[in-house]
Chain A
Amino acid sequence: MSDTSKVVDGFLFLPPALRAWIGKDIPDQPFSGRIPWVPLDKSISEATFTLMTSAGISMKSDPPFDMEGEKAEPTWGDPSYREIPKTATENDIEVNHLHVNTAYINQDLNVILPLARFQEFAQEGLIGKLAPTCYSYYGYQTDPTVLLSETMPQVAERMRQENVEAVLLTPT
């Protein structure tokens, strides 16, 4: 962590044409709205964590995220969420995402939903604990209205029920 000079290039892995297409709609200025902020009032070694990823991960025992709807209407993305028990492994899950190669997640869930790593951190006392339930939704949302007004309040309520104090969000 000694190199403080790095500035992450979020377009590094994109082909140039795709970079130009995606980049044209991103304003080159800081966010101007209100950003939610809750101070961390305790050590992470005492805090209860959960994890949530936008990778479209579901348990094999649950319905998968809807990819057919997006194929029929390319601006639509499934706005629902799935619960992933903290004990889940790559053998228990299904990944559905039309915008990335999901093969790596199927080989090692920790590349995007690091359940095993956080279980280790809890056992080592680095964090307080990992809550029983972690979460996934589907990150391709051109209109996030349903995701924000219906889905995420349900997720937040589930987190409250399990006394979650910190959430690590991992992107796709």
Chain B
Amino acid sequence: MTNTPEFHRQVGIPRVAAIEYPYGRPVGQVNDRDGQRKVLKATLSVLENAKEPGQISHLPFTWPEEPKKVDWHPPEISPIVKVNLDEIKRLGAKMRKKGKF
């Protein structure tokens, strides 16, 4: 199972169920038993039906919150982001200039 198929396809996983759920909660929302079961049944179905190595199946589920409002971030900036913060800000400014976002 992956919530970042662009990243995980680079390591050659045999069978992949991709889901557009936030970091830290790939199976679903807290205490949402029914929702978690649906996601896991769909994931098991990928195991049953995958025909070849590296196949990525994109699950149809949509997270109910606006992406910008999803609180997935750690309480403190991670050490690797902290030491690269200037470069990250520079890349962000460059993308803004290009009108990418």
Please report A residues at the B interface, Cβ cutoff 8 Å: 1-4, 6-13, 15-18, 20-24, 26-27, 30-31, 33-38, 40, 44, 55, 70-71, 74-75, 97-102, 104-105, 107-108, 110-112, 114, 117-118, 120-121, 126-127, 140, 142, 166, 168-172
Contacts and interface: CB of A to CB of B under 8 A. Distances in A.
Interface in B30-80: 30-31, 33, 36-37, 40-45, 47-48, 52-54, 58-60, 67, 70-76, 78-80
Contact of A31 (B9, B45, B74, B75): B9
A100 B48 contact: no
Interface of B: 1-14, 18-20, 22-31, 33, 36-37, 40-45, 47-48, 52-54, 58-60, 67, 70-76, 78-84, 87-89, 91-96, 100-101
B95 A20 contact: yes
A55 B25 CA distance: 10
A107 B30 contact: yes
Contact of B78 (A4, A99, A104): A99
A108 B30 CA distance: 5
Contact of A20 (B6, B36, B44, B92): B92
A12 B20 contact: yes
Residue from A2, A110, A168 whose CB has the most chain B CB atoms within 10 Å: A110
A100 to B, nearest CB: 4
B47 A74 contact: no
Contact of A117 (B40, B59, B78): B40
Given A20-B94, A117-B37, 17 more contacts: A6-B20, A8-B5, A10-B18, A13-B70, A16-B101, A21-B84, A21-B87, A27-B10, A36-B14, A40-B47, A100-B73, A101-B72, A108-B31, A110-B33, A114-B40, A118-B40, A166-B47
Contact of A168 (B4, B43, B48): B43
